[in-house]
Amino acid sequence: MSSILIDDLSVDERTLEWSVRPSSDLERFFTDEPFRASYDVPIADVPDGILAIPVLAHVCPVAWANGADVYVDEVDATFARALEDVEASLCSMYDFLEGGDLYARRTVEPEPDPEGDHGLLFTGGVDSTCSYVRHRDESPTLIGIRGWTITPDAADDDKWAALRERVSGFADDRDCDAAFVESNMLSFLDHPMLLAHYKRHVDGGWYSSVGHGLGLLGLCAPLAYARGMTDLSVAATHWDGIDLEWGSRPDIDERVRWAGTRCHHDAYELTRQERLDVIADYVRTENPGLQLQTCNDRMDGNCGGCEKCYRTAVGLRLAGLEPTDHGYPFTDADYRRLRRSLERGDWVLGRDERHMWADIRERARETDPTSPAERAFFEWLEGVDLDALITASEPPLSHRLLRAGARNAPTPVYNAAYPVWTTAKAGLRLVRSGR
């Protein structure tokens, strides 16, 4: 039976570490690293059932993709029920997910000291900045995370420093707190192998398409418990009316919870252009010098030449703002460069980008161009086949063949089975909500 054992918790003042041991058929999806996460608040007094949440949030989707069971000594009872709900949502979204069961020796119901704090995952991009603006009267704690787009590798230290500086500066200027979490949540998984096996089922990567809603929120559980956060929000990427298969949606994020904390999927009722409108109103009334950070290539500013930079710059213009005032080196000459890159398929785009450009096209229809170059681009956008643009941007055949080769490679056979498995599983019971 496919299974994953989580045990041997090690925790010091601010860092936790779990051993993750998959059965031999799942070994290919994991590296030799234990799962680690570090926080900027003391976590030594956080219950083990809460400390298990970050690793469970990342292991369980892999288990569900393989019909595997997960074993852990202790788990927060509220989160165990949340996992059932998230599992149901993901399995209804993806046919390739088989589901699985969670076994634990103990379920616990700790009683945190609620401070009424509101946490908000924050990067300084369009979505999280819009969520801050919407909740600024609550003075939310802004949470920066290292482990996904910024890896734990030393090569990304400068990127992490830039993100910390940006989030801390944004928070300081607005008299709210900042908090930071670091984890190897993707490098302890063999993400290339997950991509090789499941890319054919999803539009993006494994984490973006399957794991990041549950994963990022669950990663923050020890922080939220230690700080008494009653609410934790993640900004929506998509919006109502776009039924895309994606790892962060209302039917996932709104179901994540643990003792003392409920999670929220924020601003789903607004399109990306409408979120830029919210930001534009904030700029005009309170913060004329606001800088956004959305670049796919840099963390210390915006390159101005990637698809996301161009898309944000055009959206800012449609919201009545000048992109150069908010971090984007954009001029009328860039409209021609943008069109050429989209037509040539210079960027790998997915269905979510297709919807975002359609959103821009809808707003462009209602907007008077400010220059001949802008008019020409809007006219082109009105007539172009967006689906054809997305198809033309698919990754090279060589990349697809590489994934197929990895997917079909035989799993290495262990020299000996784990001798501790029988002992470790003894006494664990199936966790069910009883609802």
pLDDT in tens, 65-87: 999 999 999 999 999 999 999 99
Phi, psi angles (nearest 5°) of residue 433: -75, -25
Token readout for 374 is: 């802008």
What is the structure's pLDDT at 394? Answer: 66
DSSP secondary structure letter of residue 366: T
Q: What integer is the mean pLDDT of 7-24?
A: 97
pTM of the model: 0.91
Question: Does residue 432 carry a pLDDT above 80?
Answer: no
Strands annotated E in 236-315:
257-258, 261-266
How far apart are alpha carbons 237 and 352 in whole angstroms? Answer: 9
pLDDT tens digits for 319-337?
A: 999 999 999 999 999 999 9
Question: Does residue 418 carry a pLDDT above 60?
Answer: no
Of residues 20, 10, 31, the one with CA closest to residue 71: 20
What is the structure's pLDDT at 428? Answer: 73
**% of the chain beyond a pLDDT of 90:** 83
What is the structure's pLDDT at 425? Answer: 58
Phi, psi angles (nearest 5°) of residue 53: -60, -45
Confidence category of residue 412, pLDDT binned at 50, 70, 90: very low
What is the structure's pLDDT at 430? Answer: 78
What is the structure's pLDDT at 359? Answer: 98
Question: Does residue 368 carry a pLDDT above 90?
Answer: yes
Beta strands 69-76 and 15-22 are unpaired
Judged by DSSP in three states, 235 sits in strand
What is the structure's pLDDT at 203? Answer: 78
Q: Which residues pair with 319 in a beta bridge?
A: none
What is the structure's pLDDT at 113? Answer: 87
Token readout for 369 is: 């161009």
What is the structure's pLDDT at 423? Answer: 54
What is the structure's pLDDT at 392? Answer: 84
Residue 376's Cβ-count burial label (10 Å; 0-12, 13-18, 19+) is: middle
Rounded to the nearest integer, the mean pLDDT of the chain is 91
pLDDT tens digits for 77-128?
A: 999 999 999 999 999 999 999 999 999 999 999 999 888 899 999 999 999 9
Structural contact between residues 117 and 56, judged by C-beta atoms closer than 8 angstroms? no
Comparing 432 with 287, the larger pLDDT belongs to 287
pLDDT tens digits for 126-150?
A: 999 999 999 999 999 999 999 999 9
Rounded to the nearest angstrom, the gap between the alpha carbon of residue 54 and the centroid of all alpha carbons in its chain is 13
What is the structure's pLDDT at 89? Answer: 98
User: Of the ranges 268-277, 289-298, 314-323, 391-400, which one carries the lowest mean pLDDT score?
Assistant: 391-400
Question: Does residue 301 carry a pLDDT above 70?
Answer: yes
Q: What is the DSSP string of 66-135?
A: TT-EEEEEEEEHHHHHHHHHHHHHHHHH-TT-----EEEEEEE--------EEEEE--SSHHHHHHHHHH
pLDDT tens digits for 43-57?
A: 999 999 999 999 999
Instruction: Tell me the angle at which helices 372-383 and 333-344 cross, rounded to the nearest 10 degrees.
Output: 20
pLDDT tens digits for 233-291?
A: 999 999 999 988 999 999 999 999 999 999 999 999 999 999 999 999 999 999 999 99
pLDDT tens digits for 202-217?
A: 878 899 999 999 999 9
Q: What integer is the mean pLDDT of 382-396?
A: 85
Question: Does residue 405 carry a pLDDT above 60?
Answer: no
Q: What integer is the mean pLDDT of 219-230?
A: 97
The CA-based diameter of the chain, rounded to the nearest angstrom, is 74
Hey, how many other C-beta atoms are within 10 angstroms of the C-beta on 136?
Answer: 15
Token readout for 234 is: 């993640």
